[in-house]
Amino acid sequence: MISHAMPSQAPRPHADRGRPAARRAGEAAGRAPVLVVEGLAKSFTLHLKGGTRLPALAPLSFAVGAGECVALDGPSGAGKSSVLKMIYGSYRIDQGSVRLADGDDAAELAGADPRLVLRLRRERMAHVSQFLRVIPRVPALEVVAAPLRQQGADTAEARARAGALLARLNLPERLWGLPPATFSGGEQQRVNVARGFLAAKALLLLDEPTASLDAVNRAVVVDLIRERRRQGCAILGIFHDAETRAAVADRTVNVTGRPRDQTETT
Amino acid sequence: MTGDAPLLLAEGLGKDYGARIGCRAVDLSLHEGEVLAVVGESGSGKSTLLSLLSGAQAPSAGRVSYRRGDGVLADLALMPEAERRLLMRTDFGFVHQRAEDGLRMAVSAGGNVGERLMAAGRRHYGAIRAEAADFLARVEIDPARMDEDPRAFSGGMRQRLQIARNLVSRPRLVFMDEPTSGLDVSVQAKLLDLIRALVEELGLAVVIVTHDLAVARLLADRILVMRAGRVIEAGLCDQVLDDPQAPYTQLLVASVLTP
Amino acid sequence: MSMPALTYNFAYLDEQTKRMIRRAILKAIAIPGYQVPFASREMPMPYGWGTGGVQVTAAILGADDVLKVIDQGADDTTNAVSIRAFFQATAGIATTTRTREASIIQTRHRLPETPLRDGQVVVYQVPIPEPLRFLEPRESETRRLHALEDYGLMHVKLYEDIARHGEIATTYAYPVEVEGRYVMDPSPIPKFDNPKLDRSPALQLFGAGREQRIYAVPPHSRVRSLDFEDHPFRVQRFVAPCALCGAADAYLDEVILDDAGGRMFVCSDTDHCATRREAGHVGEMGSPPLAPRDAPPPPLRRSDGVGGPTAADPLAAPTAEIAPPPTLPSPARGEGGPKAGVARHAEAGLRAPAGRNAP
């Protein structure tokens, strides 16, 4: 019922290169995309500044399928982060529609009940924000393990898997028991990435996940993204670094509204 | 977290004190395991709302319903007083801003925690004491001090004792009225960590009244902004704080140094 | 009381007042253990001297009643003597010291050792009728707690006792539950007497004058002392028998004999002690058997002065340790000797075996 609105849904042979057969089969069967964004727009009204209206995003439509990685593009301030935040629910959706596949159905996120958004965050989507914002005084390992535990995983198992992921991201084990507030930017970023990637979700929202990482760790993140894609996860990201973007994204959606979204990568 | 029926439901809730408005036309629902923060300045009606929700005061308009253990949604005001009181000391908890309002200051810490157990008909001293000691340990009070009365305790300890006293009956729903204000910042932080951990561990539904947006962000799933007795904005905690809509909410958020 | 007795209505109170009090009593009987408010009158004696008990007695007294008044078990203490004299003067009724002969027994702090019988009425003087007040000072709230049968608080008090003293240290005014419903303060009787309230064939009335409350335990009512499963209710048990009459199962008072630590333990129930001695029982320090007492009550106005009604407050007594019975000559007891220096021998060393009042 929503597939007709997919500008990006047209099969593109070259985009399928390197994708698992399972995904292609899914698409062939006409499976609905994981995320469908239609006419999404945003402006902020600053009541403290005499009601100034600040446009943040011009109407935007796109979709992301399972196993696909889409990069958001556009100049600074064009609303790339706002798109991710509206999908995740940190910003209110003023106009347009965002639908996230949820079981056999799709959940509408515009005007959604907070409980629905909370459930979808728990079960269906993860957000790696630009800056790690976590509960103070909670050790890094617990921060990372939290999404798994919210899905009902056993504490010990969640910690073990969190530790494995942090190790893979080369975060020294001596830091695991410390709250991330004291970490460097790069260390915080890795905690943030680990937290977003630990639990299996249908949709991953990545806001500059490699911004403050060195080459080695950037490569780890690229690997992680590719792994997730192979597992069928839909990924929507902002990658400032062209090399990373080229390494992970199938295509780019420009948030300024120009349908220049068929840019090929890889 | 389970089922779609709310644990607590308020419809058109209002309270007037003569000509003065306590709160007006409040609708809200709270589900199991959910944490709802009510924020606003002094006199905005937060505490009035809390007293209506917890059944401590009867509303002048609208109603509050609670889903009892048997699944029936019952109007608090229509409940026989005995049943309402039973709820208050079993299913409900209430953490007061001033620990002295929620504790028996002349009764030992163990007696304070054990009271709900005894009210529920428990009559084995040893078992009551063991459970009280267990809950004291959970709120980081040394069980060796369980025979001291709260007058010997610091502000933070009293507040933790008050929490233990409420949680020992395994409530489903806990009301908190500014539980951390009036404490030193470092003590506040510790108490918040404890509350957060207990809420998660016990799967509590919580309505917490606070003027501190940082407390709301730390604990709450959802937030309700009140002004002049009315709810002016409500929604996901991070959405309301990151993308406030109402002028007053924007002012509140802008007034915080690090929300 | 220098005015002629004839000035007064029968038993001092006017008939309307007595009717009011009787209505309160009837309500109290109908709701065992429930505190019924009544319009307590000023009495010609200070509060704390039994104004509540006196009003109840006045309201139920008939011309053919035989009145016994005891204070701390004794017929011959100031309070008992005064009240007996008061009713002799205002009602002209017969009085007695013998439990068996009395139709109405007004008491402060004790129940007679002699089992009560059908048809008798015990009137207790009550200083504080509200057992919950210790932890909840608001009267509005305690009444609500009673109404809702919300008695967790009462156990908090007992819990505190055990936590602080290792056992339920409440030895008097020990709370009871009446007929499975109301929790009641049995007045400051020693808990030793609590089992006697249970299923007593006598009607038990409680009057609190200052607090304006009347409550009752109808004959044969179930009266259960509150306790914990692992700290069951038990009564005091005394190691040594009464030094005068040898009674082993009576509640004893400690009598200080000299400044050198000499003391003796004797029955607090003077009638019980005297009756036993008349029957030939002799304790370790007892004199030869007494000649049977004369039927008329002991002369009035003989034990004035020493020790007010509160002089022998059981609370004030430290837990006494048992010493071997002193070998000093016995004091002349039962002849109006002042009870100065009498202290409750509340917890005499050894505990009673469990289950004396076990449900």
The predicted pLDDT at position A19 comes to 41
**Which residues from chain C sit within 8 angstroms of residue B125, using beta carbons?**
159, 162, 228-231
* Judgement on whether residues B83 and B197 belong to the same structural domain of the protein: yes
Residue C218 pairs in a beta bridge with none
What ipTM did this prediction achieve?
0.89
Using DSSP, state whether A6 is helix, strand or coil: coil
Share of residues in chain B with pLDDT > 90 (%): 77
Task: Give the model confidence (pLDDT) of B192-226 as tens digits.
Answer: 988 988 898 898 999 999 999 989 999 999 999 99
* Judgement on whether residues B3 and B86 belong to the same structural domain of the protein: yes
The predicted pLDDT at position B258 comes to 58
The predicted pLDDT at position B228 comes to 93
The predicted pLDDT at position C291 comes to 65
* Judgement on whether residues B78 and B103 belong to the same structural domain of the protein: no
User: Mean pLDDT, to the nearest integer, of B231-248?
Assistant: 95
Report the candidate in A135, A126, A127 with the shortest Cα–Cα distance to residue A179. A135
User: Mean pLDDT, to the nearest integer, of B53-63?
Assistant: 94
Spatial neighbors of A29 by CB under 8 A, at least 6 apart, are none
Task: Give the model confidence (pLDDT) of B81-131 as tens digits.
Answer: 889 988 998 999 999 999 999 999 999 999 999 999 999 999 999 999 999
Q: How many domains does chain B have?
A: 2
CA–CA min distance A248, chain B (Å):
29
User: Mean pLDDT, to the nearest integer, of A170-189?
Assistant: 93
**Boundary (domain end) residue, out of B170, B190, B216:** B170
Domain of B224? Answer: 1-91+173-259
CA distance C221 to C214: 17
| CATH code of residue B38 | 3.40.50.300
* Judgement on whether residues B225 and B239 belong to the same structural domain of the protein: yes
CA–CA min distance B229, chain A (Å):
21
User: Mean pLDDT, to the nearest integer, of C106-118?
Assistant: 96
Looking at the complex, does the CB of residue B242 fall below 8 Å from at least one CB of chain A? yes
Using DSSP, state whether A123 is helix, strand or coil: helix
Interface chains of chain C (3 or more CB pairs under 8 Å): B
CA distance A229 to C217: 81
Helix residue ranges per DSSP H, chain B? 46-53, 81-89, 99-102, 109-119, 125-138, 155-167, 185-202, 213-219, 237-242, 247-255
Relative to beta strand B20-30, strand B8-17 is antiparallel
Which tokens belong to C323?
């010493």
Looking at the complex, does the CB of residue A90 fall below 8 Å from at least one CB of chain B? yes
User: Mean pLDDT, to the nearest integer, of B6-17?
Assistant: 95
Residue C246 annotated as catalytic: no
Residue B175 pairs in a beta bridge with B94, B207
Spatial neighbors of C234 by CB under 8 A, at least 6 apart, are C351, C352, C353, C354, C355, C356, C357
Looking at the complex, does the CB of residue B125 fall below 8 Å from at least one CB of chain C? yes
* Judgement on whether residues B84 and B115 belong to the same structural domain of the protein: no
* Judgement on whether residues B163 and B125 belong to the same structural domain of the protein: yes
Asked whether the predicted pLDDT for residue A262 surpasses 50, the reply is no
Quick one: pLDDT band at residue C2, thresholds 50, 70, 90? low
* Judgement on whether residues B147 and B69 belong to the same structural domain of the protein: no
**Which residues from chain B sit within 8 angstroms of residue A138, using beta carbons?**
193
The predicted pLDDT at position C353 comes to 36
C162/B85 Cβ within 8 A? no
**Boundary (domain end) residue, out of B136, B170, B204:** B170
Residue C245 annotated as catalytic: yes
Quick one: pLDDT band at residue C212, thresholds 50, 70, 90? very high
Quick one: pLDDT band at residue B257, thresholds 50, 70, 90? low
Which tokens belong to C147?
């109404």
Q: Is A117 exposed, middle or buried (0-12, 13-18, 19+ CB in 10 A)?
A: buried
Residue C52 annotated as catalytic: no
* Judgement on whether residues B109 and B166 belong to the same structural domain of the protein: yes
CA distance B240 to B252: 11
* Judgement on whether residues B183 and B107 belong to the same structural domain of the protein: no
**Boundary (domain end) residue, out of B145, B170, B195:** B170
CA–CA min distance A69, chain B (Å):
26
Report the candidate in A78, A88, A65 with the shortest Cα–Cα distance to residue A2. A65
Residue in C52, C273, C283, C286 annotated catalytic = C273
* Judgement on whether residues B215 and B251 belong to the same structural domain of the protein: yes
Chain B meets chain C (3+ C-beta pairs below 8 A): yes
Looking at the complex, does the CB of residue B245 fall below 8 Å from at least one CB of chain A? yes
* Judgement on whether residues B85 and B36 belong to the same structural domain of the protein: yes
The predicted pLDDT at position C187 comes to 95
C149/B82 Cβ within 8 A? yes
Quick one: pLDDT band at residue A260, thresholds 50, 70, 90? very low
Which tokens belong to A164?
């494995």
* Judgement on whether residues B87 and B181 belong to the same structural domain of the protein: yes
